[in-house]
Amino acid sequence: MIYLDYQATTPVAPQVAQAMEPWIEGKFANPHSPSRWGHEAAAAIEVARKQVERAMDLKGGSIAFTGSATEALNWAIKGTVEKAGNGRNRIITVATEHAAVLDTCEWLAGNGIDLTILPVGSDGCLDLDLLAREVDDRVLLVSIMMVNNEIGVRHPLTSISELVHKAGALLISDAVQAFGRVELCNGPDLVAISAHKIHGPKGIGALWMRKGKEPAPLIHGGGQEQGLRSGTLSPALCVGFGAAAKLADERCTLDYDHVQKLWNAALDALGPGWIVNGSIQHRYPGNLNIRREGVDGARLIADLRDIAFSLGSACASGSGRPSHVLRALGLDYRESRSSIRLGFGRYTKQHELVEACHRLARAALEQEKLDA
């Protein structure tokens, strides 16, 4: 199999699996237990916490571990609304956000919050002048991702944070596709990340919180994670997250240069007739979302079962819904159906990517001939 679905998940790095192994087998103690073994597990979790925080390189805050980035985003948004006591009752987000943000905001809108969802241009970029006009003294929070999971477009979070903070609002950012791949912006007040996007284990995420901006707890119980997020932590998952973060921090520039070369090689190998969805200038190059007129992306996936790629977000693809991100760019139903996403990263070999792209191009031509 040629794996080209790095935005959906990444293979666990060998160093990460090795770091986790002792905590899966012999070191099974509850890290919240007062025993010596419990203290040992708790110490390992704190080492992992520091590794993740060091890799994020954000100033003036700390992280709490969560079960996923989806939980972290729900917590950040709902917890900020619950904690608010300043009379602000408005949320602003963007039409191309992940469902973890959009669905959470829509749920809040059904419970009395005033919600504004801003459009993007045909390149997937947000109009900052429009944002500036919308952010006023009624806005409690703005939620905007750093790197889009479907089209790879990067938003200018530094400029956005200045606009948001000038209005006295908080900025929340989904950095799942940015963390470990590009340098994070220090502007947001709350930042959600995930381990399995950086060659770590599934089942663990984190929320970085600027000091004084911590959201109200979403999960109550034993008072773990500084009393902010109850639940017994898994030492194995935390250690794996820490090891993955440390490795990503060490390899960030090397990995970025690698995917930039792969981007160029993929476009060359695909040949003419393909259109890139989203801005080419403002994007992460490990995400190549493309379309070809008359092609059915789902049929390509069915025809090329030994190549792993996707139609877009794994969450949306699993539901059968058309991509809200591509529709937000102004693509019609046929154009959305003709789009596929190729994601590559640290362990993608260039010759395998080129082979896959040649096969994709041939399969697309076969479809055109059959449908002619």
**Catalytic center residues:** 315
Cα pseudo-dihedral 90, 83, 226, 240, rounded to 10: -20
Distances (CA, A) of 49 to 105, 158, 176, 248, 262: 29, 25, 17, 15, 32
Instruction: List CB contacts of 218: < 8 A, sequence separation 6 or more.
Output: 71, 74, 75, 78, 79, 229
109, two tokens: 């809108």
338, two tokens: 């003709």
Instruction: List CB contacts of 250: < 8 A, sequence separation 6 or more.
Output: none
Instruction: List CB contacts of 287: < 8 A, sequence separation 6 or more.
Output: 6, 7, 147, 148, 149, 150, 151, 152, 177, 341, 342, 343
Contacts 24+ apart (CB under 8 A), 109-113: 113/81, 113/89
What is the spatial distance between Cα 121 and Cα 119, in angstroms, rounded to a whole number?
A: 7
What is the spatial distance between Cα 256 and Cα 263, in angstroms, rounded to a whole number?
A: 11
